[in-house]
Structure 1
Amino acid sequence: MEPVVMLILFAVFIGAVSQRVTGMGFGLVSGPFLVLLLDPFSGVVLVNICGIAASGTVFVRTWREVEWGSFWKLSLGSVIGTIPGALLAAALPASPLQIVIGLLIIGSLISSMVIGRIGKTVPANFGTKFTTGLLSGTMSAAAGTGGPAVSAYAVLTKWEQRTFAATLQPFLVVGTTSAVIFKAVFDNGAWPQLAAPTWIGIAAVLVAGLVGGDWLSKKIESSTARIAMIILALGGGTATLIKGLSHLS
């Protein structure tokens, strides 16, 4: 097996573990590394595809706790937001797109951490939910990371963690599915060109990561897992940014 394929499989595995343990993080953890290993456009599409499967699997176990009213309002904004995100990804050359992806990942992580310390609140109404979904959808299509915007919203509205994590799963399925569809519309070469054995391997490690994450979630604190997720995501986002800057002519 080629080294790059092994690294792709490892990135998918770690992202799946993060998704199961923290409720989000597949795009944040796997996204920047898959962008480095493939290219910024098809790498994000692969993140979206795997993210659909990961969130859908978690949703099967948590659907009873979903807050459906919030889900529909967030999802409406998300579907609309994926359109400008997909257009941006299709329009930019590889190096500038890598820079955008790196900056979005780093910026979203830092802003979510800062927001968590502010202590202020915003109303949980249609406007804030739609706007949050819009921003999340744009980031999902452009960088494969739709979770941080909704995470920040949850902090600002003091959304109870259990229902937030449950609602996040179908929301991410809708947003990432919309991102894949619009990216395919705007660029028919968006689908990752991987061999059949690689796709089979991705499916296998995705399942293994979710199962391993399920076991790990019972052994470690979610706060510890989130710290590890942030460190990995910041490292990957920084590497993606540096690679994009280094290839600018």
Structure 2
Amino acid sequence: MTTAELLLGLVVLLGASVQRLTGIGFALVTAPVLALLVGPGQGVLVSNCASAAISAVGLCAGWRQVRLSAMLPLVLAAACTVPAGAWVADRLPERALLTSIGAVVVVAVLLVIAGAQVASLRGRGGAVVAGAASGFLNSSAGVGGPALSLYAVNAQWPVREFVPNAQFYGVVVNLFSMAAKGLPRLASPGWALLAMGVAGGAVVGRLLGEWLSDRQARRLVLGLALLGSLATLAKGLLG
């Protein structure tokens, strides 16, 4: 078992804890670091795989609160753009993909922090726009959550309603992404640590939910995401 594999397990544990706590955030926290550990292409695949798993765990408890009528336009739009994102990611050189992942996450985090109000992200049309953007970004950079979060902010969804719907979306769209690109290429220890990280994150995230307020959890996610994305952006720019 290598140091990189151990770090991968710890990063997945952290990301899974955040996702279990807030409904999104796995890729925001982990995608930049995974890109540095296993390369940007494989990092996105690991992010898709683990994010689908931890979303499924959270969905087991909240599936009755999923608003299928509201989620259908988001999911269908994402399904249309996932192949395009996978095509772009497959053709970008590593340095360009690192830079793109870092830049996308930085911009997304800043928009979420600002609580951006965008008229085009309201109503059914807004759901289509947000789903299309999220599907493309999820399969190309592993970070589909911010577009969904921005839609929820503009649709004025309360946190209690957002979390189960975000988990449903995370399961479906990450499965789309894996269908388009396949599974990550990990050795047996890597898969074992990935599974342990997801399972541990499900427990830790639930415990943190009893101690942290929604505002504190949000700050934690965004702070970690911003640090990781800046590091990835710097590595891409500096080579």
TM-score normalised per structure 1: 0.91
Aligned equivalents of 2:215 and 2:120: distance in 1? 24
Could you say which residue in structure 1 is the equivalent of 2:211?
Answer: 219
Are positions 1:243 and 2:235 aligned together?
Answer: yes
1:193 shift after superposition: 2.7
Distance 1:43 1:123 in 2: 29
Q: Which amino acid aligns with 2:175?
A: T
1:149 deviation in Å?
0.5
Equivalent pair of 2:123/2:155 in contact (CA under 8 Å): no
Q: Say which is worse superposed, 43-52 or 120-129, in terms of deviation.
A: 120-129
Identity score, percent: 33
1:83-129 deviations in whole A, cap 9, x for unaligned?
Answer: 2111110110100011111111111111122235x5x7667432111
- Return the alpha-carbon distance in structure 1 between the equivalents of residues 97 and 197 of structure 2: 27
SS in 1 for 2:105: helix
Q: How far has the Cα of 1:183 moved from its partner?
A: 2.1
User: What is the aligned counterpart of 2:163 among 162, 165, 176?
Assistant: 165
CA distance, structure 2, for counterparts of residue 115 and residue 84 of structure 1:
28
Is the Cα contact below 8 Å between 1:122 and 1:157 reproduced in 2? no
Secondary structure class of the residue paired with 2:90? helix
Runs of 5+ consecutive residues of structure 2 not aligned to the other structure: none
Relative to structure 1, is the Cα distance of residues 123 and 142 closer, same or farther in structure 2, using a 3 angstrom cutoff? closer
Query: Is 1:69 equivalent to 2:69 in the alignment?
Result: yes
- Aligned residues, how many? 239
Q: What is the root-mean-square deviation of aligned Cα atoms in Å?
A: 1.5
Per-residue CA deviation, residues 190-234 of structure 1 (Å, 9 max, x unaligned), is: x43321122112101210111111011101112112111111111
The answer to whether the aligner puts 1:132 opposite 2:124 as a matched pair is no
Deviations 1:65-89 (A, max 9, x none): 1111011111001111212111110
Q: Does structure 1 residue 208 correspond to structure 2 residue 189?
A: no
Q: Which residue of 2 aligns with 1:44?
A: 44
Aligned equivalent of 1:196 = 188
Within 5 Å, give how 1:1-249 maps onto structure 2.
Answer: 1-116=1-116, 118=117, 124-184=122-182, 191-247=183-239
Q: Which amino acid aligns with 1:148?
A: P
Report what 1:188 is aligned to. none
Could you tell me which runs of 5 or more consecutive residues in structure 1 were left unpaired when the two chains were aligned: 185-190
Give the superposition deviation at 1:163: 1.8
Contact conserved, 2:121 with 2:151, CA < 8 A, in 1?
A: no
Q: CA deviation at 1:59?
A: 0.7
- Closer, same or farther in 2 for the Cα pair 1:123/1:230, shift >3 Å? closer
